[in-house]
Amino acid sequence: MAVIEINHPLIQHKMTYLRNKDTDTKTFRENLNEIAKLMTYEVTKSLPVDEVIVETPLMKTTGHVLQDKAIAVVPILRAGLGMVDGIVSLVPTAKIGHIGVYRNEETLEPTYYYCKLPVDIQERKVILVDPMLATGGSAIYAIDYLKNAGVKDIVFMCLVAAPEGIAKVLQTHPDVSIYTAKIDQGLNEHGYIYPGLGDCGDRIFGTK
Ligand code: PRP
Ligand code: URA
C-alpha cells in the first residue's frame, strides 16, 4: 500500500526530545504518547462512520459517528505500550489486544511469547503499534499473526522507521500501510536505527 511520513512541526518538536539521550523517562513517555495522539488523527482519517440523526437545541440534523467495531489497537510488547494511551485518548471505544514479541539481540530474529486479542478482532480495523521498525522482523511476525487470526484490515503505526524495515514489510505485506513519524537513515551493525533514539522499550520503562 503506502508509507506515510507524518511530518508535522509538533511531532518533529516532540521527536527531538525523544532522540535526546539526556531526556528523562517521564518526559520520554509523555512525548511518545503525545506523538501517538497526533499521529492517530492522520491514521484514522478514513475510518468508516454511520449517519445518525442528532437533535441540536434548534432542530434535527445529520451527524456521523464511528462504527461500533471500528478499531482495535494492538501494541507489540513492550515498547508498543508506550503509544496506546495516546491513541485511545482519541478513540476510547477501541478494543486493545497485545502481542508479545521481542528481538533476539544476537540473531535479530523475532521471538514470540504472548498474545491476547479481542474476540471480534476479525471485524475490526487493526492499528498495530510499535515505536521502532528496524529490520522489520517483529512487525512482520505480528502482521502474520493477526492475519492468521482472521484480521483483514491492518495499518502499522510506528515512530521511527528504517528504510530496510519498511522495504521488508511492504514486500511481505503489500496490503499494509505504514504510518511513521520519521524515516531515519538506516540500521547500524547491531540492527539499531540511526540516528534513532536507542532502545525504545528501555527508555519508556527506565530499564537501562
Ligand atoms: C524493539 C522494538 C520492536 C523491535 C524492532 O523491541 O520495540 O519491537 O525491537 O526491531 P525489528 O524491526 O528488527 O524487529 P525489543 O525486541 O527491544 O523488545 P521490547 O519492546 O520488549 O524492549
Ligand atoms: N529496537 C529499538 O528499541 N531501537 C532500535 O533502534 C532498534 C530496535
pLDDT tier for residue 1 given thresholds of 50, 70 and 90: low
Task: Give the CATH number for residue 103.
Answer: 3.40.50.2020
Say how many domains are in the chain: 1
* Ligand lying closest to the C-alpha of residue 165: 1
Which of ligand 1's atoms lies nearest the C-alpha of 201?
A: 22
Instruction: Specify the pLDDT at position 10.
Output: 98
CA distance to 138, 165, 168, 190, per residue, from 135 (Å): 8, 4, 8, 10
Is 135 one of the annotated binding-site residues? yes
In terms of pTM, does the model score above 0.90?
yes
User: What confidence tens digit (pLDDT) does each residue in 148-195 have?
Assistant: 999 999 999 999 999 999 999 999 999 999 999 999 999 999 999 999
pLDDT > 70? residue 92: yes
CA-nearest of 126, 156, 125 to 140 is 156
Please report which confidence band the pLDDT of residue 208 belongs to, taking 50, 70 and 90 as the band edges.
confident
Please, are residues 161 and 183 in contact by the beta-carbon 8 Å criterion?
A: yes
CA separation for the pair 206, 39 (Å, rounded): 24
Which of these, 137, 28, 139, 136, lies nearest to 74 by C-alpha position?
Answer: 139
* Phi and psi, residue 165, nearest 5°: -70, -40
d(CA 17, CA 13): 7
β-partners of residue 53 are 62
Average pLDDT over the chain, rounded to whole? 97
Q: How many angstroms separate the CA atoms of 199 and 197, rounded?
A: 7
> Does any ligand 2 atom lie closer than 6 A to the CB of residue 199?
yes
Mean pLDDT calculated for residue range 5-18: 97
Q: Cα(168)–Cα(137) distance, rounded to whole angstroms?
A: 8
Tell whether the model's pLDDT for residue 33 goes beyond 90: yes
The ligand 1 site (C-beta within 6 Å) comprises 76-79, 102-103, 108, 110, 130-139, 165, 191, 199-201
User: Ligand 2: which residue has its CA nearest to atom 7?
Assistant: 192
Return the ligand 1 atom nearest residue 205 CA: 22
The parent domain of residue 23 ranges over 3-205
Instruction: Give a three-class secondary structure readout of 38-61.
Output: HHHHHHCCCCCEEEEEEECCCCEE
- Kindly state the cell numbers that stand for 162: 528504517
- 77 Cα nearest atom in ligand 1: 20
Distance (Å) from CA 35 to ligand 2 centroid: 17
Cβ-contact 11, 157 below 8 angstroms: no
Is ipTM over 0.90? yes
State if residue 134 touches ligand 2 by the CB under 6 angstroms criterion: yes
In short, whether 200's Cβ falls inside 6 Å of ligand 2 is yes
User: Crossing angle for the helix pair 9-19 and 25-43, nearest 10 degrees?
Assistant: 150
With CA atoms as reference, report the closest residue to 160 among 189, 138, 127, 186: 186
Ligand 2 centroid–CA 79 distance in Å is: 9
Q: Which of 108, 91, 110 is nearest to 100 (CA)?
A: 110
pLDDT for the residue 70: 84
> Percent of the chain having pLDDT more than 90?
95
Q: Residue 131 above 90 pLDDT? A: yes
Catalytic site positions: 103, 107, 199, 202
Cα torsion 152, 173, 186, 29 to 10°: value is: 10
